[in-house]
Every structure is written in structure tokens, then in C-alpha cells.
Amino acid sequence: MLAIPTTDRLLVVSEGINPLHTYAVLRRSRATMGRFPSETTSTELQQQEKNPHQEINNMSTQPVPPSFKDLGKAANDLLGKDYPISGTNLEVKTKAPNNVVFKVAGLRDGKSGVIAGDLEAKYLLPKYGLTFTPTWSTSNLVKAQFELENKIAKGLKLDLATSMNPVSNAKNAALTATYKQPGLHTRTLVDLFRGPSFTLDAVIGRDGFLVGGDATYDVQKAAISKYNAIVGYSAPEYAITLHGLSNLSTFHASYYHKVNRDVEAGAKAIYDSKSSSKNISLEVGTRAYLDNASFIKAKINNTGILGLGYTQALRPGVKVSFGLALDTQQVSGAAAINDEKPGGLNAHKVGASLTFES
């Protein structure tokens, strides 16, 4: 939709739902249900004293926290999405009367000029809780994904993802089980061909506080190959997360703040203890809504790379985005768009993205 009414503002294009924001809003709405504490009657207080499981029952009022990979998503999306600087993107998504969704996506690399794309079809069988998604890419990679949700048990989702390259005969298959309940979000992944290996992650949420961790066990090595941890806090207007990644050798700190109905801000800092420089990478960014159908984004990092983005909803289902990355340390030089620096990096980049959806 071009404009969707909300309690805060009219949103611009139909973007993905932010799980952290949803978690915070649900937490706020559930916390304000019913009377104020001062209006609790003496009879209710006596009943609460007689109920030894009151604290346990309160857990059921907690919303489902985000998945482990979605912690910090608000800041990551603010700093990473809507900057189509790698080339020219085109995406077309249509929906048939029988609920089959087709998607064609293509990208022309701004440096090499190579065009890559894929064709995807998603078949939905809501009666049986099944979703089947086959994909075929220009690299001759064939994928198939099978999903079964809320049929075996409430909150349980099973996902089988397979891929194969007929030319190289490379293949892979992974089985994922996700279980969600109020205050808990867990995932178990079994990679059948790489290792095989087992990955388990979990996130616990309580009153906005989030704690999560994951670990991967390699069967052939009979050892834990990697582990990570995350702590954070999510409120309706802001979110803060701290990641300990790569076996707790790399640390990411990020925050997202909805300043008002038209302005968002965020930042991310990265420290790699194994890096020879021991420096901290820092990136800050913002998004400002111009009206109900357009917004601009800007970001800059400590190396002087300035990113600019503009997104416009032309009509319902049609969206165009433009992106520009400038090396501010070379603006006065003769570097042209998409020309390479001595280190192999482009001094400046420009790109565009066009999306059709019906």
C-alpha cells in the first residue's frame, strides 16, 4: 500500500515489520491493560496473595521476543537498507488468484556490469500450514524450501531448505525447528552436508530486557566451532543491543531511536579484538520522512564514507530508490563514480532500485 494509517504516522511503502518494534509495542500495550495499580481492590490483593503461581502466570503476558538473528535489526535496517549503491536493482512481485506469489529479482553490478537474477514462486497452503518455495537463479542454483507452521504444536515451525547446482553437483540441505512462546524464542538448525553441524540459539525476553546466545557443534570435530551472545533492551521508541560475536572476539554495540513521528536515528560501533589496528569502527545514520510517500536517509562512518538514499512511492505497489556513496576524503580529487581507489575499493558509488508489487 502507498500509505497505511498507524497510530504514529502514515507509513511510506510496505516494508518488512520490525520484530523489535513489534515486541516493544506489544509489551507496552499489554502493560497498560486493565486498571491502574491504585485501583486494585482489596479482594484482588487477597487473591493475589493466595496465588503462589501469580509470578509464573505473569510470564504468559510477555510478548514473543525477536529471534536471535533479528536482535539489533532496527539499527541494521536503518544503516543498511534503502542504499542501492551496488548497481541497478529490479524486483517484480505478483500474486495469483490462488495465492501463489511470484517474484523476479535482478541486479546489474555497477562495477563489472554482470547481471544476476533469480525466479521464485511461493505456494501457500494455509489449510495445512504448508509453504513451498522453489527458486532458480542465473548461477544455475536450484533451491527448494518447505515450511510447516503451527500444525504439530502451537508456536512450532519446521523448515527444510535444500539447494543444488546441476553443473558442479554441489548440494546442501538444512533442517530448522523454531519454537516461539511468550518470553521465549528458540531455534535449532541441523546442517546435513556441512559438518554435519548443529546450531542452537535462544532469546529470553522479560519487560523489555533481552538476553540471547547461540552455539554451533561440529559433529566431525566433536567440538563447539563457534558461539555468540547478545544482550539488549527494547522500548517502543528505542532499542539498544550489544553483540559478542566470533567466539566473543568481536563486539558490536548499536542503538535505534525513533526521535519523533518523522525522524529516526541510529548508530553502530564495532570492535575486533583480533584486528591489528585495535580501532573501533563507527557508523551513524538517520531517516527523515518528507511526506506520506517519500523519505530520505543519510549515514557516515569513521572512514569518511557518506551514504545518501532517497525512496519514493510512485503509486500503490511501485517504489523507486536512489543511492549514493561518497568518499569524502577524495571529493576534491579526480575520482569518478565507480572508479577504483588503489586499494581496490570504489571511491564513489551510485545505484538505483525499482520495485513493482501487486
| pLDDT for 89 beyond 90 | yes
CA dihedral of 79, 76, 250, 270, whole degrees rounded to 10: 30
More confident: 307 or 332: 307
The domains of the chain, with CATH numbers, are: 4-284 (2.40.160.10)
Helix residue ranges per DSSP H, 32-143: 42-50, 54-58, 73-80
Cell of 251: 563486539
Inter-residue contact 205 to 190 (CB < 8 Å): no
Residue 323: per-residue pLDDT: 97
Residue 115: per-residue pLDDT: 95
Residue 19: per-residue pLDDT: 58
| pLDDT for 268 beyond 70 | yes
Residue 344: per-residue pLDDT: 41
| pLDDT for 72 beyond 70 | yes
Give me the helix-helix angle, 19-31 and 73-80, nearest 10°.
140
Average pLDDT in the 233-260 region?
A: 96
Residue 195: per-residue pLDDT: 78
Inter-residue contact 277 to 297 (CB < 8 Å): no
Question: Quick one: pLDDT band at residue 197, thresholds 50, 70, 90?
Answer: very high
| pLDDT for 66 beyond 90 | yes
Residue 99: per-residue pLDDT: 87
Residue 10: per-residue pLDDT: 40
Per this entry, what is the length of the chain? 358
Comparing 219-223, 273-277, 332-336, the range with the smallest average pLDDT is 332-336
Residue 317: per-residue pLDDT: 94
| pLDDT for 8 beyond 60 | no
d(CA 240, CA 143): 35
| pLDDT for 228 beyond 70 | yes
Question: Quick one: pLDDT band at residue 4, thresholds 50, 70, 90?
Answer: very low
Q: What is the per-residue pLDDT across 9-24, written as a single tens digit (0 to 9) for each?
A: 444 444 445 555 555 5
Percent of the residues in the chain that have a pLDDT greater than 90, as a whole number: 70
| pLDDT for 238 beyond 90 | yes
3-state helix, strand, coil in the chain (%, to 5): 10, 55, 35
Task: Decide the pairing of beta strands 348-357 and 87-95.
Answer: parallel
The sign of the CA dihedral 21, 22, 24, 28 is positive
Q: What is the mean pLDDT of the chain?
A: 85
Question: Quick one: pLDDT band at residue 60, thresholds 50, 70, 90?
Answer: low
| pLDDT for 40 beyond 70 | no
Residue 141: per-residue pLDDT: 96
Question: Quick one: pLDDT band at residue 1, thresholds 50, 70, 90?
Answer: very low
